[in-house]
Amino acid sequence: MKKYYDAIIVGAGHNGLTAAAYLARAGQEVLVLERRDPIGGCLSAEAPFEGFRLAPCTPTGQAARPRIVRDLRLDVYGLEFLEHDPLVHCPGSKPLTLWKDAQRAAEEIAQHSPRDAGRYLEFTAFLDRVAAALQPMLDETPGHPDTTEPFEMLGLANLGLRVRMLGKEDLHRLMRVGTMPLQDLLDEWFETELLKAALAAPALEGRYAGPRSPGTAAALIYQRLAGARGTYRGSMAMLPETLASVVKDHGGEIRTGTEVQEIVVENGKAVAVLVGKKEEIRGRRIVCACDPKRALLDLVDPLHLEPSVLRDTRSILMRGTTAVVNLALKGLPGFGEADRLKGRIHIGPDLESLERAFDDAKYGRLSKRPALLAVIPTIADPALAPYDRHLMQVEVRYAPYHLREGNWNELRDTLAERVVETLSGHADGFEKLVLHAQVLTPLDLESQYALTEGHIHHGEHNLHQLYFLRPTPRCSRYETPIRNLHLCSAGTHPGGTTTGACGANAARQLLAEEPGQTLGRAKAAVKTPVGAGLAVGAGLALLGAGLAAGAALKAIKSDKKEKEEG
């Protein structure tokens, strides 16, 4: 093995491999180091049951960003995404299915409430408009509000202008949604409890929050922004496996079973990693695909970081609340017609049950009546299991990493029993279908998949941990205070999805900073000298932000006036 590389990637998860693929395609010497034997991180392929194939801790995800698919030509490698349709199915005496087609979903909702059917079309159209305005953010390095860099300013201005173009009514709604509890928002729009639960449960994925928690309404926009939900033919593991092929085809190296013990820092610059029994591998850049806490607090000697950086990093919230139970079944359970079970299956009657489940977690207890989101991927992809068998993967909420009493080894069987009991209440004879069960507690997610505190997103998706605040203001542009040490995990912008955007954005940022690249990017972006670009960027940033804020305030004042006059 070579002892010097252009880039050393720590971690072979989908973001690390995406970054590696971009850098390798650009002609750089790339080495990816993975502590486990399989690649893929949380999307790694495993076979806990004989004859079954699955990514145990990631039942479903979002499709890779279209730009990544184009840039890396992933379709040429045969990668196929199976989008969920329906989006969610709620079984019961009066079931509800939300199909991908909003009109078809509205027809289902009308059986519960004709009023809600019309409101659903209006609500989803609003979410789609906001998502379209914010969509470009996912493929951009976050600009910081106090920046003097012209291209960051242009990006911020562009964002402000896109938001401004939403118009008065949507701006008003968006301003309110940012801080509202999810329950308050859904109560304003709908009267059907099952519909509200079906919308809320997926949006609360990975959050240390219930539907009454402030700021959770914004989760609906984030969910819409992240893109369509589904899985890949061959399981979610097909994404990292395809990315690994791209890396290797462009000369990159992937070394598994190799744990990085330390990142070597000399004179404020990352220069190497130590692996195994103190084997040193040197590189121009070290790019960490592990979570920010693990990267900066575990792999770097704290002597190399300022106290403020250590404090900010330790303050990143990563309170895991999710467990996963994988079940091998000898038949298809009776939650409804097979076509209705091709997406996610939500078990939970209303927002009250979601809040009660979170109440248990707040006090360090496994939820007595957990809310469940399950998928049966073998309906759309039978090859994942032996003939006439099915696989069911269940996300359990809430299962807090921090327990006040007992430990997760003691509660493992209890968790599995509660899941099977809950599912049996919605499908007669379900317990008789179970052949095998695999339980992944939050502690398992940490020990097996290196997820600090068992958090599936490498950090909570709270408003103070998104965009230029993710993971911290000092590290929001995939860089750290240590020169040549970079971050590319889900702990960076745009957050914990399976789109690969974090890895792609980080790699594009690194390539733009290569000698000779920044000037070319400048010429392509604006045909003016840098000084003029600074002035133009500053002006547009102020213009875009001012127009957006001014329009929103005007909308609020106008609305207030109308109410007073009415």
Q: Please give the helix or strand (H or E) that residue 284 lies within, else none.
A: strand 279-288
**435 and 336 co-located in one domain:** yes
Answer yes or no: is 519 within a domain: no
Answer yes or no: is 33 within a domain: yes
Answer yes or no: is 507 within a domain: yes
Please give the DSSP secondary-structure letter assigned to residue 155: H
Q: Which residues are within 8 A (CB) of 433 and not within 5 positions of it... i.e. 6 or more apart?
A: 329, 330, 331, 333
Q: How much is the pTM?
A: 0.90
Looking up residue 434, the CATH number of its domain turns out to be: 3.30.519
Final residue before a domain boundary, out of 417, 436, 452: 452
**pLDDT (tens digit, 9 = 90+) per residue, 370-388?**
999 999 999 999 999 999 9
Q: Which two tokens stand for residue 132?
A: 């379209």
Cα 31 to Cα 23: distance, rounded to the nearest angstrom: 10
Query: Whose CA is closest to 332, among 373, 378, 383, 380?
Result: 378
Final residue before a domain boundary, out of 436, 452, 468: 452
Answer yes or no: is 424 within a domain: yes
Q: Please give the helix or strand (H or E) that residue 371 lies within, else none.
A: strand 371-375
Looking up residue 31, the CATH number of its domain turns out to be: 3.50.50.60
Cα 451 to Cα 485: distance, rounded to the nearest angstrom: 20
Answer yes or no: is 546 within a domain: yes
Q: Is 70 exposed, middle or buried (0-12, 13-18, 19+ CB in 10 A)?
A: exposed
Answer yes or no: is 520 within a domain: no
Residue 546, pLDDT > 60, answer: no
Q: How many CB atoms lie within 10 A of CB 169?
A: 11
Q: Domain residues for 379?
A: 319-452
For the chain, percent of residues with pLDDT exceeding 70? 90
| pLDDT-wise least confident of 132-136, 235-239, 560-564 | 560-564
Final residue before a domain boundary, out of 452, 482, 506: 452
Residue type, 231: T
Sheet holding 434-440, edge to edge: 96-98, 88-90, 344-347, 371-375, 390-397, 322-329, 434-440
User: Which pLDDT does position 83 carry in this prediction?
Assistant: 97
Answer yes or no: is 523 within a domain: no
**214 and 265 co-located in one domain:** no
User: Which pLDDT does position 488 carry in this prediction?
Assistant: 98
Q: Please give the helix or strand (H or E) that residue 465 lies within, else none.
A: none
User: Which pLDDT does position 163 carry in this prediction?
Assistant: 81
For the chain, how many structural domains are there in total?
A: 3
204: pLDDT confidence band, cut at 50, 70 and 90? very high
**pLDDT (tens digit, 9 = 90+) per residue, 267-314?**
999 999 999 888 999 999 999 999 999 999 999 999 999 999 999 999
